[in-house]
Amino acid sequence: MSGVFRGEISLSPVYVIWQTTLAHISCFPKWRINMTLIHRPIIPDGLPITEDQITDFCTRHHISTFSFFGSASTGTLRPDSDIDIMITYESGFHPDLFTYHEMIEEMEKIFERKVDIADRKQVEAGENYIRRIGMLNNLKPTYRQISHLLDILLYIRSIERVYVNNEEENAPDSVSRRLIHDGLVYQVIRLSRIAQLVSPEMRMTLPTIPWDELDQIADMDLLDEPDSELIREILSRLRESVTDLQNRIPDEETFIRKVEEQGYWSENGE
């Protein structure tokens, strides 16, 4: 802890704010302290938010740590940049979806731009190691396209488990079959939305992936029922694309080594 405190402890819990790393503020529940903070917490230049606003936000939403990452933490915000915030909730606190959206809306009013809030524990548990390592280490976002490809591969593997176990065919009744089928379609829809984030240049390097068909699915309303033949064609081609994706995406050990050597992961995976 880099803040230096002096004062007396009393018996009512409050949040104490201090600087732990550059652009990282902790709002940790302590016993009330009448104190003077010698080294003030650092808020990145140009961000229209105060320590008091952060303290109040953390207190109301049961947040124990609050930090900026990405361009918000480095002073390199562009006019179209989002504000990226990483938080940790108090132990035992589990916010609902409405609370999460309220938090985003509150921050967006302050910053007057789009805000993304990431739960550190969810990031640490994330299966996409490229995104996890990048966010936790505040790396340059030059690896983003490779991260999208890893998301696609993870979804294909998830879908593959359903195929290998023949879960839909072996379902005990029509209701169970329908639930499994709908879950499979949902996975394809989610995958199609991720595919839209992949750049045209990156798509051209992976022709085995059915990009056009995925775009058709992504453009559909979620209440629409995708054509079964289209879904089967997409699934068949996705399974054939696994080798190409694996050859393009570094394994976790290789990714960590490259990041340690370079401090970032380049757009083309070199």
Hey, where are the domains in the chain? 51-125, 137-255
Q: Which of 20-34, 37-51, 175-189, 197-211 has the highest mean pLDDT?
A: 197-211
Q: pLDDT grade, residue 136 (50/70/90)?
A: confident
**CB 8, CB 33: distance < 8 Å:** yes
Spatial CB neighbours of 196, under 8 Å, sequence gap ≥ 6: 214, 215, 218
**Mean pLDDT, to the nearest integer, of 231-246?**
90
- Whether the per-residue pLDDT at 102 is higher than 60: the answer is yes
CATH class of this structure's domain 51-125: alpha beta
Q: Of 93-102, 113-122, 181-190, 195-204, which gets the smallest average pLDDT?
A: 181-190
* Angle at which helices 144-164 and 129-136 cross, to 10°: 140
Handedness of CA 242, 244, 248, 250 (dihedral sign): positive
Measure Cα distances from 226 to 160, 172, 186 in Å. Answer: 19, 24, 10
Res 164: pLDDT: 57
Q: pLDDT grade, residue 203 (50/70/90)?
A: very high
Mean pLDDT for the chain overall: 77
Measure Cα distances from 220 to 39, 190, 193 in Å. Answer: 53, 12, 10
- Percent of the chain having pLDDT more than 70? 74
Res 223: pLDDT: 61
pTM more than 0.75 = no
**CB 185, CB 192: distance < 8 Å:** no
Nearest to 145 by CA among 253, 242, 249: 249
Q: Greater confidence, 207 or 172?
A: 207
Res 206: pLDDT: 95
Q: pLDDT grade, residue 173 (50/70/90)?
A: confident
H/E element holding 163? helix 144-164
Res 170: pLDDT: 64
H/E element holding 21? strand 9-21
**CB 42, CB 23: distance < 8 Å:** yes
- Whether the per-residue pLDDT at 16 is higher than 70: the answer is no
- Whole-angstrom distance, CA of residue 86 vs CA of residue 89: 10
- Whole-angstrom distance, CA of residue 187 vs CA of residue 156: 9
Q: Of 28-32, 55-59, 158-162, 186-190, which gets the smallest average pLDDT?
A: 28-32
Phi, then psi, of 28 in degrees rounded to 5:
-105, 135
**Mean pLDDT, to the nearest integer, of 244-249?**
93
**Mean pLDDT, to the nearest integer, of 90-96?**
86
Res 8: pLDDT: 33
Task: Quote the tokens at residue 10.
Answer: 């009393």
Amino acid at residue number 229: E
Q: pLDDT grade, residue 229 (50/70/90)?
A: confident
